[in-house]
Every structure is written in structure tokens, then in C-alpha cells.
Amino acid sequence: MSNNAIQAYQNADNFALAQRMATSLAASTVLPPQYQNNVANCLVALDVAARVGCSPFLVMQNLDIIHGRPTWNSKFIIATLNSCGRFRDLRFDFFGDEGKDSFGCQCTAVDVATGEIVKGERITIEMAKKEGWYTRSGSKWPTMPRQMLQYRAASFFSRIYAPDILFGMHSAEEMRDISSEPNRIKTEFAEAIVVETKPAPENKTSTDELF
């Protein structure tokens, strides 16, 4: 993805231009509520769009503010992983017995540069229950387990293998699941911000394992 978005905080000229753009965007009625009549939020979205490399409008539609924290919509995370050019054959492999705590999902893809398979964390219903995601009030885990497993697997994968693309931020669904633990949010969000400076771990296997 590419665009001509302005990095608002790069210099004074960029900031002035971005502020005018943000003022215009804030007057729009087709943006999510958190951006309408809110120049500051629009300014942040413009800067994020420039760094991520996509349309400001697309960022605003998918950057959810939850408890004051910026988060990505899980569908946007998956779409970005598919279109960034770094991976191919992104897929979600289910394992275990559906309906039981052993049921889970793992996000895998082929690294375009090396041809090797890269594997994300194995997410299970047991993990969701132990972490409190499953039992949270209003949780979608009991009614939409397959989709929630896929969303969480994609979020974990992105923070391991593409933190520089998505800033290592949590997914919106993930932040809602941990929103009842304010101290944990502070710690995990701080880790998400610095994770992009860390090299991706060696968690690769040959494509032969697909067969």
C-alpha cells in the first residue's frame, strides 16, 4: 500500500498542513464518531496513515479508540498482512476438537523473502478461558469461537512478524477482552510500542511441512 499522506509530526510545515487537513476531515459526517468534530484525533489518524502507508480514510474506518488506546480492527490486520507483500498463502489452521477447550487456531504464512513458513502463536479456547477473554461480559467467544480464534491468531502473528507495519498495536477485539484489567493494558500497550524495535524470533520451518 502507498499514499501521499503527511507525517504530521515530522516538521512544522507538515504539522501546519496536516492540521488544515484534519480540520477539514473533522467536519465530515461519514467518519466514525470518534473523529467527527475532533481535529486532534483526525491529526493522529493522518500521521498513522502516513506511517502505515494507506489512505487516511481507511485508517479512520479501522483504527478504533478503546479506553483511550488506539487499536486496529482485526479485519484490517488480516487485510494488511495479505497485501503488505511480505507474506503469501496466509491461512488459519484449526486443530483440536471443536466444542472442547483443546480447539484452537494458528495463523501461518510463507515468508516471501525466504520461502519459509512462519507460524504464529497457537490460540485455544483453553487460553481464552484462562486469560478471561471467554468469560468477559458481552464476550463473543462463546457464540463465535472460530472467528474469535482467527482474529486473535492474526493479532498475535502481526505483532511477531509485522510489528513495524502495524506498530505492534493490539486488535480492537483483544483490547475489549482485556479492558477489565487496566494495569495489564498499560503494560501490554507499552510492550506493543517497543516491540517494533525487536527482531522477529526464529520460528520458521521449511515449506515441506505443508505436505
Task: Lowest mean pLDDT of 129-133, 158-162, 186-190, name the range.
Answer: 186-190
DSSP 139-177: -STTT-HHHHHHHHHHHHHHHHH-HHHHTTPPBHHHHHH
Q: Where are the extended beta strands (E) located within the chain?
A: 63-66, 69-72, 87-95, 104-111, 117-124, 204-205
What is the predicted pLDDT for the residue at 11?
82
Q: Is 40 exposed, middle or buried (0-12, 13-18, 19+ CB in 10 A)?
A: exposed
Q: What is the pLDDT of residues 107-125, one digit of tens each?
A: 999 999 999 999 999 999 9
pLDDT of residue 186: 41
Could you tell me which of 121, 129, 120 has the C-alpha nearest to residue 102?
Answer: 129
Whether the Cβ atoms of residue 103 and residue 125 lie closer than 8 Å to each other: yes
Count H helices, E strands: the chain?
Answer: 9, 6
Give percent of the chain with pLDDT exceeding 70.
82
Whole-angstrom distance, CA of residue 111 vs CA of residue 90: 10
More confident of the two residues 49 and 106 = 106
- pLDDT of 194 above 50: no
Q: Residue 205 and residue 114: Cα distance in Å, rounded?
A: 11
Average pLDDT over residues 88-108: 97
Residue 197: predicted pLDDT: 42
Q: Please, are residues 41 and 82 in contact by the beta-carbon 8 Å criterion?
A: no
Q: How, if at all, do strands 69-72 and 87-95 pair?
A: unpaired
pLDDT for 147-184, tens place per residue?
Answer: 999 999 999 999 999 998 888 788 999 998 986 554 44
Cα dihedral 43/49/50/51 (nearest 10): 110
Distance in angstroms (rounded) separating the CA atoms of residues 125 and 163: 25
Whether the Cβ atoms of residue 49 and residue 31 lie closer than 8 Å to each other: no
